[in-house]
Structure 1
Amino acid sequence: MRSLIWLSLGAAVGVVAYRTAQQLRDNPSPRGLNRAVNSLADGAAHFAEDVRRAMAAREAELRAALGIEA
């Protein structure tokens, strides 16, 4: 199961890197680079936020199942 998660994460990172490289090729100016980096940073921030939210929800489920109060 873990290897499937890592494979999926690697594929997602590869797709993002490929798309960023294509955008840089299409817009080689410094503004294009800034836009691509900002887009990548925003995507990473949104992904991290989604992971944190899912972790908190799963922790709440586990605590409820075990009868542990936070």
Structure 2
Amino acid sequence: MAAGVAIGVLAVRKLTEAKETFGPQGLNRAVGSLADSIANFADAVRDGMQEREADLRAALGVDN
């Protein structure tokens, strides 16, 4: 039980430090930046899939 309490206290301290470091605006910016990065990655994957599909269609002689 003591170990659980100690872990809880450490977690609260780390969260408090992170909150003070980033602040509400910094945290919002970090989350926004992460969301933008994920969206950009998804777009790149979609583009790659479309290019690969076009290559496969051309190689197999299948046209729309």
Shared fold, TM over 0.5 = yes
| 1:54 match | 48
Runs of 4+ in 1 over 6 A off after TM superposition: none
Structure number with higher relative contact order (C-alpha < 8 Å, ≥ 6 residues apart): 1
RMSD: 1.8
Unmatched 5+ residue regions in structure 1?
Answer: 1-24
| Percent identical | 57
Name which of 17, 25, 31 aligns with 2:25.
Answer: 31
Q: Could you state the TM-score of these two structures normalised by the residue count of structure 2?
A: 0.67
The answer on 1:64 being equivalent to 2:55 is: no
Structure 2 letter corresponding to 1:51: V
Deviation readout 1:15-59 (Å, 9 max, x if unpaired): xxxxxxxxxx48320001100000000000000000000000000
Given the two structures, how large is their TM-score scaled by the length of structure 1? 0.61
Q: Per the alignment, in what secondary structure is the counterpart of residue 68 of structure 1?
A: coil
SS of aligned partner of 1:36 = helix
